[in-house]
Structure 1
Amino acid sequence: MLIVADENIPLLEAFFGDVGEVRRVSGRTMSPEDVHDADVLLVRSVTRVNRELLEGSRVRFVGTTTIGTDHIDLGWLDDNAIGFSAAPGCNANSVVEYVLSVLSLYAERRVLADWSQLTVGIVGVGNVGGELAETLVRLGFSVKLCDPPRAAQQSDDSTTFVDLDEALACDVVSFHTPLTRDSAFPTYHLVGERELAMLTSEQLLINSGRGEVIDNAALCKRLDRDNAPLVALDVWEQEPRINPDVLNRVWLGTPHIAGYSLEGKVQGTEMIYQALSRFLGLPIRKKAGQFLPEPALSKVSFTSAADECAAIRMALRACYDPRQDDARLRHAMKAPADERGVIFDGLRRDYPVRRECSSLKVQLKGTSKSLQDSFRAIGFKLKI
């Protein structure tokens, strides 16, 4: 059995080496010739999987190690009896920690003694948005949820949803929607001139979902006007050839890596391994945990003298500080225009190892129960 896989999927041989022969290829440039003799195809979001790629091939199963499926022609796969699996939720915690780190930077910029004073509107309450909401509520934030498809299907009063305009009135607005164009609630350019005009310099807009959800041309115009909001983008229109004019105007820019923690990547691989094993009728013997290496930083300690917000900020940034990715991206986009797409992809391909908060043990000596609860809510391991 031949398994053709995106070369940037981690631990391919560890998970799939005893299932079949693994052939690594470039996901961005994957061609019909690459997959013609494959039995299994494993991709990430940079590969369009459709009739043009697969017609005439032997592929009987497609797996994407991502939460999204807008790069997959699901109807064509179904019509041709090709098995499929995605990895929903695999990197949800990684994206949550990305947003928390951005929030900590924003609270510091606003000189807030307590970051939970910020109100947060979450647009798109699926695996990522839902987990983010739960974490923020545990941390004491006031959260408003906007998800029109879920609101339309809601059959009980367990969750209260608001419309987009109400979410856009929050101090921070974070987008976690899929990209849809032809659905009852399309998200393509969901945020355009009208929505951007509602935002002020007292607000932060974060997008770590899909780049096309925000009209980047309209965003450029808005950021050139008075009273413009701060904007943090991890996703962009026209990736990988992003518009440097947008990057130059946003407060924080990162190269589509919010979900790129090692844990998130490996969990995506594990989920597709499990799905393929079930498809082939094979036993599931491997788990992500057995392949995770020891983290570079394993323990930090705080005493009773620690300020609660400062301690949380330090621990979060010990695991991940988005300013490093921002600096790398801005430096990379100084390259000639015809090289920027390759360089953008390179930033993702060669992304340094980033571990989640669960990899870090936090020792607390004489600290408050409030601080202990906050560290637990974020996901740190505690030693008290």
Structure 2
Amino acid sequence: MPSARLSVVVTRRLPDVVENRMRDLFDVSLRETDAPMTREELVEAMKTADVLVPTITDKIDAGLVGQAGGNLKLIANYGAGVDHIDVHTARQRGILVSNTPGVLTDDTADMTMALILSVTRRIPEGLAVMQSESWEGWSPTALLGGRIAGRRLGILGMGRIGQAVARRAAVFGMQIHYHNRHRLREEIEQELGATYWESLDQMVARMDVISVNCPHTPSTFHLMNARRLKLMKPEAVIVNTSRGEVIDENALTRMLRSGEISGAGLDVYEQENTANPRLRELKNVVLLPHMGSATMEGRVEMGEKVLLNIKTFDDGHRPPDQVVPSML
């Protein structure tokens, strides 16, 4: 007799092509609506499933992992970041965790450049003028922004996405600087034309644009805190397409309101689904609803990674994108 198919629970709606492939391979429970699961629904899913496929909107903490049933052996995250999953507790319970690294690199880097240009060239303000039908024609002094060529870009986190941002920014004529937990190899620095700063404080104080591209970990929580934000030049801007928790959002809001920082472009927020209401009032801030990975190609590739991780696990092997605590 053929072995029973894996029981897989998916917590959010995924692209049709991904859901159809899951139906072909597994005994899958798909989400009928795109609303996040409640905690009670997550508990029930983890009690019954062999594999859970969560997203960033699902908080899989120690309390939730502790209620997992004996069948749950893999949490195959749909996304690269795993800071919403208690990987340590999962490992203690014998539950593997996998993610989908690499597939969103170019999409997120593109969005980083879009935010840099949007903030420095005041694109949303121009859109608002046209949508309000208040445009009275071209003026030599209207909506003056700044040229990004020649500006110093400081990249906080020089992994895959940080390096992809560096390559794009260099084409625009920006000077590339970076701070990272580990310095890149010399040949990569030379390829990127990047200058390494061991001191984040010194880099922040000298940059025209700061791009946050590091993951959220205990060591990066509020890495850009009030003290460090105050080191930025008044004419500098900051963009974040990584994790909202890396920036002290309240401190950033105060400084943007007071003109201590020229502008910001944010695609992520400390409270995942809620931007600080005071940020919405500011003309020098561009806010996006976590769109960094929002391309059809990227979301399908994420699904393909999830499928590969589950299928490899089902075949008795280690998932190729397994996450272990030492990686965090």
Which TM-score band applies after superposition, normalised by the shorter structure? 0.7 to 0.9
Distance in 2 (alpha carbons) for counterparts of 1:2 and 1:191: 42
Task: Give the superposition deviation at 1:6.
Answer: 1.9
The one-letter amino acid of 2:203's match is A
Task: Give the superposition deviation at 1:10.
Answer: 2.4
Structure 2 counterpart SS, 1:173? strand
Q: TM-score, normalised by structure 2?
A: 0.76
**Counterpart residue number, 2:80:** 67
Q: Provide structure 1 residue ranges, at least 5 long, that are not aligned to the other structure.
A: 284-384
Tell me if the contact between 2:107 and 2:298 (Cα under 8 Å) persists in the aligned partners.
yes
**Structure 1 residues 225 and 275, CA, compared in 2 at 3 Å: closer, same or farther?**
same
Distance in 1 (alpha carbons) for counterparts of 2:214 and 2:94: 28
CA RMSD of aligned residues (A): 2.4
**Counterpart residue number, 2:12:** 7
Task: Give the superposition deviation at 1:125.
Answer: 1.1
How many residue pairs get aligned? The number is 275
**Structure 1 residues 101 and 33, CA, compared in 2 at 3 Å: closer, same or farther?**
same
From 199, 203, 212, the equivalent of 1:167 is 203
**Counterpart residue number, 2:107:** 94
The one-letter amino acid of 1:178's match is P
User: 1:98-156: per-residue Cα shift (whole Å, max 9, x none)?
Assistant: 112223334534555x6432221110111211221133234442110111x213xx676
Tell me if the contact between 2:46 and 2:68 (Cα under 8 Å) persists in the aligned partners.
no
Q: In terms of mean alpha carbon deviation, does 263-272 or 132-141 score higher?
A: 132-141
Distance in 1 (alpha carbons) for counterparts of 2:257 and 2:37: 33
Distance in 2 (alpha carbons) for counterparts of 1:275 and 1:227: 46
**Structure 1 residues 50 and 215, CA, compared in 2 at 3 Å: closer, same or farther?**
closer
From 270, 277, 282, the equivalent of 2:304 is 270
Q: In terms of mean alpha carbon deviation, does 12-21 or 57-66 score higher?
A: 12-21
Distance in 2 (alpha carbons) for counterparts of 1:212 and 1:196: 14
Q: Percent identity?
A: 25
Distance in 2 (alpha carbons) for counterparts of 1:117 and 1:81: 52
User: 1:55-89: per-residue Cα shift (whole Å, max 9, x none)?
Assistant: 34221211112111111111222222223210112
**Counterpart residue number, 1:22:** 28
**Structure 1 residues 225 and 106, CA, compared in 2 at 3 Å: closer, same or farther?**
closer
**Structure 1 residues 118 and 73, CA, compared in 2 at 3 Å: closer, same or farther?**
same
Structure 2 counterpart SS, 1:4? strand
**Counterpart residue number, 1:31:** 42
**Counterpart residue number, 2:313:** 279
Distance in 1 (alpha carbons) for counterparts of 2:151 and 2:201: 17
Higher relative contact order structure (alpha carbons within 8 Å, sequence separation ≥ 6): 2
Task: Give the superposition deviation at 1:157.
Answer: 7.3
Distance in 2 (alpha carbons) for counterparts of 1:173 and 1:155: 22
**Counterpart residue number, 1:254:** 288
Tell me if the contact between 1:199 and 1:229 (Cα under 8 Å) persists in the aligned partners.
no
Structure 2 counterpart SS, 1:218? helix
